[in-house]
A and B are shown apart, each in its own frame.
Chain A
Amino acid sequence: MYPLEIESVTKRYGHEVVVDDLSFTVAPGRVTGFLGPNGAGKSTTMKILLDLASADAGHATIAGTRYRGLKDPARTVGVVLEPNAFHPGRSGRNHLRILADVTGIPPGRIDDLLEMVELSHAADRHVGGYSLGMRQRLGLAAALLGDPSVLVLDEPGNGLDPQGIRWLRDLLRARAAAGGTVFVSSHLLAEVEHLADEVVVINRGRLVATGALAELQQAGTSVRTPEPGRLTQLLRDAGATVHIGTEGELVVRGVGITDIGDRACAAGIALHELIPQAGSLEELFLDWTSNDNTHLSSTDTAVVVETERQAVPL
């Protein structure tokens, strides 16, 4: 079992803080989605975990050990980081041969993997002629070469066709079911929704949400009231994020359903509806990572979305 632990990691490039006191754990046996807007610090966090970049503070470990301290990293952790980390003049087969040489993995496994990622037909062609999807498949073959227990994948679905995405999803779920640790960053929220058991969401280098995806998706409440402006302000003051739902209702996250009822009652605000709401990952993601300070509703009510406040108590 190889849990991944990010503990109080901070990384600066010049004066810019890219990762800011970030802490979370990725558990084995689960698929964990790593989400955040562009530039949120996802890739940097992964690079720190893999000892490709150094943290200015904090540390990242795999089963309690830094990556460079692992006895056999290629057989422990499979990585897809850069979609173009190949020499364009080298064949896909030779790319894998080099990795097999270095790691002492039997060359016979190369053919098996090429077949698994459906690249056998192009194995002896230069990678420069590969499509993005083919490069992604080659990267996945390289990641799986050592049959590792941990997979750290940065946008592995980029460029894959629907069959490829389905194959990848099945592969990752099978790996997790077998006790492996699967940590996947992706912009494809619908795909993460299908794939992930847990999510870690960061924005501007800071953790904004983490936990079981199913629980997080249940963490919203749909509220109808004749005084949306007052209630919005009231709940915002209590630490909630509030936005207008598709049917004009208020969608509240960050404050429990009982608390909403109690606060509305205490303030003398009538409620016409108060029901739990399961949000889509996209809605949640936008809530968690919104950089806008104010969204104007279709009525004259200003609905404020807090940006720096955590959508779900951590």
Chain B
Amino acid sequence: MTWLRLVRGEIRKLTTTKLPLGFFAVLVLIAGIDAAVVMFGTDMDGSKTFISTAADQQSLMAFAFNAMLGTGLFGAIAVAREYGHNTVVPTYLTSPRRTRAGLAQLTAVLLGGGILGLVGQALIIAGVALALPSTDYGFLVSIGGVTQILAASTLAGAVGAVLGAGLGAVIRNLGGAVTAVVLALFMIPPLVVQLVSDASSWIPPALGAVISGVSSDVSVWAALMALVAWGVVPAAAGLLAVNRRDVV
């Protein structure tokens, strides 16, 4: 049995239910909302200065943190439902070496998260590009800027999915895993910043902004490393948990 076979099996698991389709529908909805904001939204003074420069448009379109949050839910659901439906039993029967099976699952989820992040960002760019002609402004973001936000959302999506998968493996209960992702990415970081102001540069929204090129709180490389750590730590905890605990 090769590891690639395990990954292929895990990818088939993800693609043979409606889970990816559901997330794709949400991405289309978000892209539609962004397009609507461009078409109908205004600043306080009634102007559309929020899309008047390339930097403004890049900031509006940057999807990295939202991609991370969304794919965090994707990863958590993908893994926790394995326990909920007991499909983890055939998984570990066909691949009793759990670290290898867990790594295959993380790889599949990582790929899925990356694709969702990329597709989500592409849809938003397309939505904004289609909406801009209804305003006085054209599409101002450079090819380099577009490439950067696409890459940033892809990476953030991959990391978010791994983070969610790790939490899903630790918690195993679907509702609990989803709640943990929301807490870890959305609720707890602002509270930590309240206590330790220096942490503000290292929370996912800030890191997502840096790698998307719309902020420079820290260097891009530092942001990349920190972002990866946000995924690796829960993933490692998840692998440790599946190795130590009884499956059922």
Contacts and interface: CB of A to CB of B under 8 A. Distances in A.
Chains A and B are bound partners:
yes
Given A85-B87, A89-B17, A70 B96 contact: yes
A51 to B, nearest CB: 5
Interface in B61-119: 81, 85-87, 89-97
Interface in B193-248: 246-248
Given A52-B93, A74-B94, A99-B90, A104 B5 contact: yes
Nearest first, the 5 closest Cβ-Cβ pairs linking A and B are A102-B9, A68-B96, A85-B86, A53-B246, A101-B9
A52 B246 CA distance: 6
Given A81-B89, A82-B89, A102 B94 contact: yes
Given A73-B95, A85-B89, 10 more contacts: A51-B92, A51-B96, A53-B246, A70-B96, A73-B94, A82-B89, A87-B16, A87-B87, A102-B8, A102-B9
Contacts of A91: 16
Contacts of A250: none
A94 B96 contact: no
A88 B81 CA distance: 11
A54 interface: yes
Given A47-B247, A74-B94, A99-B94, A90 B5 contact: no
A85 B8 CA distance: 20
Interface of B: 1-2, 5-6, 8-9, 12-13, 16-18, 81, 85-87, 89-97, 246-248
A153 interface: no
A74 B86 contact: no
Nearest to A126: B17
A52 B247 contact: yes
A73 B93 contact: yes
Query: Most chain-B Cβ atoms within 10 A of its Cβ — which of A51, A98, A142?
Result: A98
- Which range contains the number of A residues in contact with the other chain? 20 to 34
A97 B5 contact: no
B5 A102 contact: yes
Contacts of B246: 47, 52-54
Nearest to A71: B1
Contact of A87 (B85, B96, B247, B248): B85
Given A98-B9, A98-B16, A102-B1, A74 B247 contact: no
A97 B12 contact: yes
Contacts of A209: none
A98 B13 contact: yes
A82 B85 CA distance: 10
A50 interface: yes
Contact of B86 (A51, A84, A89, A97): A84
A81 B87 CA distance: 11
Contact of A84 (B9, B85, B247): B85
A86 B91 CA distance: 11
A288 interface: no
Contacts of B94: 73-74, 99, 102-103
18 contacts: A50-B93, A51-B92, A52-B89, A53-B246, A73-B95, A81-B248, A82-B86, A82-B248, A85-B86, A88-B85, A101-B12, A102-B95, A103-B1, A103-B5, A103-B94, A104-B2, A104-B5, A142-B90
